[in-house]
């Protein structure tokens, strides 16, 4: 059982709700769950064509959606950060003293075997236990 559990959630995948359910079962009484969404801002040449206000508005929408998803969950706090998914998940886990990460993983495709998925990066570099959920 764990005291601080991090549940990374991609807002366009349905596995986040399952991750929160598993986290609740793994949580010690009095523990906390942090639901994390990492907003990856457009990079490269695409970013040159976007105004900062457009990027900030998208971030704000993602943050509002995270807050809405956990509204009825008293042990869960929502956090939305900007950055690279794998690196940001690991950084938040270290900074917040998380003792477990519950992360979803899709069925790997060819590109995942060559580059590695976010879940694989988190498993390799996390400072704590990691529970991986398959869809």
Task: CATH number of the domain at 21, please.
Answer: 3.40.50.620
Q: Which domain holds residue 13?
A: 2-134
Q: What is the pLDDT of residues 74-125, one digit of tens each?
A: 889 999 999 999 999 999 999 999 999 999 887 666 655 544 588 889 999 9
Q: What is the pLDDT of residues 6-48, one digit of tens each?
A: 999 988 776 678 899 999 999 999 999 999 999 987 776 666 6
pTM of the shown model? 0.88
pLDDT classification of 50: cutoffs 50, 70, 90: confident
Q: How many domains does the chain have?
A: 1
Of the candidates 123, 126, 122, the one whose C-alpha atom is nearest the C-alpha of residue 95 is 126
């Amino acid at each position: 059982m764990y005291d601080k559990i991090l549940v990374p959630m991609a807002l366009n995948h349905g596995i986040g709700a399952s991750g929160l359910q598993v986290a609740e079962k793994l949580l010690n009484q009095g523990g906390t769950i942090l639901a994390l969404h990492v907003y990856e801002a457009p990079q490269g040449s695409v970013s040159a064509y976007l105004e900062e206000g457009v990027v900030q508005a998208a971030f704000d929408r993602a943050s509002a959606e995270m807050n809405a998803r956990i509204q009825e969950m008293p042990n869960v706090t929502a956090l939305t950060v900007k950055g690279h998914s794998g690196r940001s998940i690991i950084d938040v886990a270290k900074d917040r003293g998380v003792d477990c990460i519950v992360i979803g993983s899709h069925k790997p495709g060819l590109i995942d075997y060559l580059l590695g998925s976010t879940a694989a990066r988190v498993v390799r570099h996390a400072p704590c236990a990691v529970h991986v959920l398959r869809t």
